Structure 1
């Protein structure tokens, strides 16, 4: 049966990207980031040797891009503010008036175009000089971040609709300290735990500073969250799922929303001597300064099972000591990214937030489908006909609609991403945008999905075969 799925009034329709992935260096002055340094030293680690110098050149084309936002149905959009651009002297020192002018112009243009600015303060883009001082392992870097955040609140507080301290803070911990996909490519869980704790502390301290300014906006965090499913209801599979969930979901969700740390995770870290160090007052600051709004990034579920093999205890401590990933037969895949497509997971995630996190005001802050070689789908007019992306969006949003009907406090949906943007070490291998990008000319062309997105936004919903829901 086909039904019109109508979303709540004033629902946030939009998308998201980050400064490092979209702006390009520009002429404002900017400190070298960890990504720019890593690309300079190991360009072979980046797909087709493409680095972040130009990316989508948004810094020079933002007025054109904002018009494209309007043409693709945006009433909201998430940017990130570059720490390295705001403080070009290595992320510290004097604030940069050219950067302030750029961001004020960008945010003003968005507001005047009817697009609510959502501003994120950190999206993996540590200034390299601060990484050399210890990065998130360093309390001095935490204080530098709070200075940066406070400066942004003061300079842009009249223009930003909602603020976010971090996007996917788990990502740099996994990439930098466990899985070798972020600079500085260390494998040391205890150092990662320290960096993770200090990130949580930085989040709380930034919120503490924000509250003193009495702005009308709210502040929160954006987390990448995957519902964790055990292979079976066997007690050992369920225990494996519980531990995996503690490491990968509750580790940041609990302290950043509830102000507490997951008991099971703390027990494990103490048992294996992996606890971070902290000062007596830190836990009080974390408890008293929690998120007012929550962004949910959902791409794939996590499926685990009890370990079948013994761990080499002479190797580095890792979460996988306690579980193995389960490759479920018959799962649907995005073969380009290697991720499972499981639409029901976004519903289960929303229900978890409703039931276990006070039904905090939330929105889907990222969800999307990266596809390689999209030029295969060009029509004679030069437009990419990406019906697969339209179906992906509708299938996930149908479950978001169901979650809202079931009482979940979900107020928006932001796709990843707006215009095809640079994707860290994958560069432009997979394209995610509603708008295609010609890398040589920087020409932007709205895809079929961008036309669909505008229609969906105008109608505040879409028609859907609801029998597909389970």
Structure 2
């Protein structure tokens, strides 16, 4: 076994989000967001019909949950503020119960030596804004900037690191193109407008932060997914370029380089898919906006090949017009999720950042493995999740390798702390260091949580290089 030491001050923790963890209780003053609405009105789309009301109960359990974080050695946690909890309706009035709750959470975390990493938006748009057009409506950008300013004012003295958005591609791609998230629209041009407006909102959120006197940092949580073509055949390589262009560079170049890729603009103009409402002032704002810190979420690689058939040109325009997904023979799979396990990609991500987006400090803001029917691994009252430990060790090995070669990675957060509600999958797959009993609300540490405590204490992992 080899001991792989991580840099001094490395962030060891976990990530979650408000909608996925808090739940609701009578009298909390929380307004409805799109997930509250969708999980109720489209309940058949959610695994076992579990709604946002039945999440991991952080709103009522936060004091004990912070103690649980400390018990496994976590020195940081990324969570989010629920916009619809803080500002419940279109009046713009702040909910005092939300202020009390979040200040209590962040204060307790600080007292326990757990650094608050706080994200402003994790997919959960208030319904009063969605009903007026959501992210297609420029007024939502203004509302977001106001919301961000309120957060900085109310909680700025307690938060160490702010983030404007988690995976801003998802509301556009999943909600307006691929029919996975509410409002279940399938229209590329509308999706492109949503993505542009979210990027502008990010910029305005950063601008609001810069107007404060806070000494904390601000950044964003994104995917920088390496694309792996099937072969070196020029047609496969071109497929890889197009997948990267649409799903990585379209967003990341705008955020990290201050401009949209020229190749993307040319393609969208050719197929008449440019968003209609893009102003010169917005493009100038994008060019001028810089972040302090980048979070990277990684779960699976993207493998592609040249298309094997002509797309339906009469159908909805889609990035998939330019490539097919490739199921590589012999790939390792998480059969619970149906996705590939490929730890080496963390090393490739670090190299991609060094090459394409140099100079931005970053950390792994999400990485983890979701397993269905995890109760089958309970022995003596504890989930024996050796598969999770091995998954984390392998990913940390490749991350450590990149750090040794100079990558400016500052930490690693696993998804998630306690098993949480996971969008359309609800509680189908479990991800946490702690197991949640849905019937009783009991939270018990898994073997991986005990292992993680040892990792944090040593600031190192023991790894068999022959594995």
TM-score in terms of structure 1 length: 0.98
Counterparts of 2:77 and 2:408 in 1: how far apart (Å)? 19
1:403 aligns with 2:402: yes
1:91-148 Cα offsets, whole Å, 9 max, x none, are: x511111111110110000000000000000001011111111111111011001100
Q: CA deviation at 1:154?
A: 1.0
Per-residue CA shift, 1:352-392, capped at 9, x if unaligned? 11121123100000000000011101112x10000000000
Alignment match, 1:252: 251
Q: Who is 1:34 aligned against?
A: 34
Within 5 Å, give how 1:307-322 maps onto structure 2.
307-322=307-322
After TM superposition, the structure 1 stretch with the greater mean CA deviation from structure 2, 140-149 or 212-221, is: 212-221
- Equivalent-residue separation in structure 1 for 2:463 and 2:359 (angstroms): 26
1:467: Cα distance to partner? Answer: 3.6
Worse-matched range after superposition: 35-44 or 143-152: 35-44
> 1:366 & 1:355 partners in 2: Cα distance?
22
* Matching residue of 2:80: 80
For 1:153, the equivalent position in structure 2 comes to 152
Q: Which runs of 5+ in 1 are unaligned?
A: none
1:62-461 aligned within 5 A: 62-90=62-90, 92-276=91-275, 277-380=277-380, 382-461=381-460
Offset, 1:236: 1.1
Distance 1:290 1:337 in 2: 35
Shift of the alpha carbon at 1:225?
3.0
Is the contact made by 1:226 and 1:299 (CA closer than 8 Å) also made in structure 2?
Answer: no
CA distance in 1, matches of 2:45, 2:126: 19
Asked whether the equivalents of residues 136 and 195 of structure 1 are also in contact (C-alpha less than 8 Å), the reply is: yes
- How far 1:289 moved relative to its partner? 1.2
SS in structure 2 of the partner of residue 124 of structure 1:
coil
Structure 2 gap ranges (5+): none
> How many angstroms does 1:54 deviate by?
2.8
Shift of 1:420: 0.2
How far apart are residue 290 of structure 1 and its match?
2.3
Distance in 2, matches of 1:226 and 1:353, equals 10
Paired residues of 1:137 and 1:191 also in contact (CA < 8 A): yes
Q: 1:29-75 CA distances to partner (integer Å, 9 max, x unpaired)?
A: 11111111112212111101110103111011101000000111200
Give the 4+ runs in structure 1 shifted more than 3 A.
none
Shift of 1:253: 1.1
- 1:141-187 Cα offsets, whole Å, 9 max, x none, are 11001100111011111110100000011111121111111001000
Distance in 2 separating the partners of 1:83 and 1:456: 34
Shift of 1:28: 2.0
Name the residue aligned to 2:461.
Answer: 462
**Deviation (angstroms), 1:466:** 2.1
2:64 and 2:416 map into 1 onto residues whose CA distance is: 16
* C-alpha displacement of 1:430: 0.3
Give the secondary structure class of the aligned counterpart of 1:281: helix
Secondary structure of the 2:382 match is coil
Say if 1:346 and 1:396, in contact at 8 Å, map to a contact too.
yes
Is 1:145–1:202's contact at 8 Å kept on the other side of the alignment?
A: yes
- In structure 2, how many angstroms separate the alpha carbons of the residues matched to 1:204 and 1:184? 24
Matches of 1:131 and 1:428, distance apart in 2: 26
Aligned equivalents of 1:148, 1:25: Cα separation in 2: 20
* 2:40 is equivalent to residue 43 of structure 1: no
Number of paired residues?
465
How far, CA to CA, are the matches of 1:299 and 1:373 in structure 2? 20
The 3-state SS of whatever aligns with 1:466 is coil
| TM-score where L is the length of structure 2 | 0.98
Summarize the Cα distance change of 1:433–1:221 in structure 2 as closer, same or farther, 3 Å threshold.
Answer: same
Residue 254 of structure 1, CA deviation: 1.1
